[in-house]
């Protein structure tokens, strides 16, 4: 729930704004802002969406028009306000019948047949500058048609998804299924695979080849071989880096599962800077994954598996196996 403050508006303008916000026009406009909540066609509206929403401007409204808006809204508040989707679709629960109804003639819901709602919408159009009453009636008719068709489509999708859930309610979701759901819900700002992400950094001005053997460990001889990284259990495979900072970065990347040809920074300070950003980036993503995994399952073992899969996707790319 959001509080909307009508700052710097007169009493008539503020009352008109309340009426405008309850109009069918704004109700339809709202469906073009936001992000889908789930897969059923309904939107989740955030503050950023409210700020972007187009709203008829009540400033300078005439006294007579303000009274029309207020009377229409007052009438609506004294009755039960209904749905904008047609009643027969609300009583329908099978996709086949829903599609047959949706393929037939459009039937307005009871709410869209209410005289006070039409009066409110007519007044809003007058506020927008449509002075001709016949033109306003035509526009309201087109508005109601567009609104009814939009909510009809949403209802059909809802019914289809309800049936899909019913079919899968007894199926145990796999770790991959749950991980895919969490990945979509995480809404990560940047999910570029790590090797590609590092290559895009301005500091990455050199090429390196990280071997496949694991584990990777830094040389303990900081006097004579500080820039050497050993690979594999025996440590016989080695990589000589350009600086100790690059060696630390290579060790970290290798133990995260990164190998092959990469663009990396060469000097000490640039490598340390990128390594810090790698750790920060991974820590932030992992924290989000753990939070969402906690909400999906109470099984600690499954949660750890989920985080492992999601971290691998985050490091190597969604399609990585």
- Among 246, 245, 251, 249, which Cα is nearest to 231's? 251
Peptide bond connecting 127 to the previous residue in cis, omega within 30 degrees of 0:
no
pTM of the prediction? 0.51
Q: In whole angstroms, give the CA distance from residue 271 to residue 249.
A: 6
pLDDT of residue 290: 93
Q: In whole angstroms, give the CA distance from residue 260 to residue 274.
A: 18
Rounded mean pLDDT of 74-84? 93
> Using one digit for the tens of pLDDT, what is the confidence trace for 19-54?
999 999 999 998 888 776 665 566 778 888 888 899
Q: Tell me the pLDDT band of 321, cut-offs 50, 70 and 90.
A: very low
pLDDT of residue 319: 64
> Using one digit for the tens of pLDDT, what is the confidence trace for 85-119?
888 888 777 788 888 888 888 889 999 999 999 99
Q: What secondary structure letter does DSSP report for 284?
A: H
> Using one digit for the tens of pLDDT, what is the confidence trace for 162-209?
777 656 554 566 788 888 888 888 888 899 999 999 999 999 999 999
Rounded mean pLDDT of 7-12? 91
User: In sequence order, which residues have a C-beta less than 8 Å from that of residue 87 and are 6 or more positions away?
Assistant: 107, 109, 110
Question: Does residue 142 or residue 101 have the better pLDDT?
Answer: 142
């Amino acid at each position: 729930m959001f509080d909307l403050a009508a700052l710097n508006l007169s009493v008539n303008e503020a009352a008109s704004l309340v009426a405008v916000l309850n109009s069918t026009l704004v109700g339809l406009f709202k469906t073009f802002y936001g992000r889908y909540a789930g897969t059923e066609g309904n939107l989740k509206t955030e503050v950023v969406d409210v700020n972007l929403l187009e709203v008829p401007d009540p400033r300078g409204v005439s006294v007579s028009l303000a009274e029309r808006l207020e009377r229409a809204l007052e009438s609506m508040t004294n009755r039960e306000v209904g749905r904008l989707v047609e009643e027969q679709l609300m009583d329908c629960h099978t996709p086949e019948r829903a599609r047959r109804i949706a393929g037939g003639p459009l039937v307005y819901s009871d709410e869209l047949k209410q005289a006070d709602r039409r009066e409110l919408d007519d007044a809003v159009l007058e506020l927008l500058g449509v002075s001709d009453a016949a033109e306003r009636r035509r526009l309201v008719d087109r508005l109601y048609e567009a609104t009814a068709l939009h909510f009809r489509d949403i209802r059909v999708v809802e019914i289809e998804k309800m049936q899909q859930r019913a079919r899968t309610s007894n199926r145990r979701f796999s770790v991959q299924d749950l991980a895919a759901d969490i990945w979509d819900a995480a809404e990560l700002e940047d999910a570029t695979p790590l090797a590609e992400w590092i290559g895009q950094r301005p500091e990455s001005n050199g090429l390196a080849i990280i071997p496949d053997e694991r584990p990777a460990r830094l040389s303990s001889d900081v006097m004579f071989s500080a820039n050497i990284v050993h690979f594999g259990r025996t440590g016989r495979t080695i990589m000589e880096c350009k600086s100790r900072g690059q060696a630390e970065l290579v060790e970290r990347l290798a133990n995260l599962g990164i190998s092959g040809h990469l663009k990396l920074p060469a000097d000490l300070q640039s490598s340390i800077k990128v390594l810090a950003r790698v750790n920060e980036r991974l820590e932030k993503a992992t924290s989000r994954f753990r939070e969402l995994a906690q909400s999906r399952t109470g099984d600690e073992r499954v949660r750890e598996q989920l985080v492992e899969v999601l971290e691998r996707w985050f490091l190597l790319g969604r399609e990585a196996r």
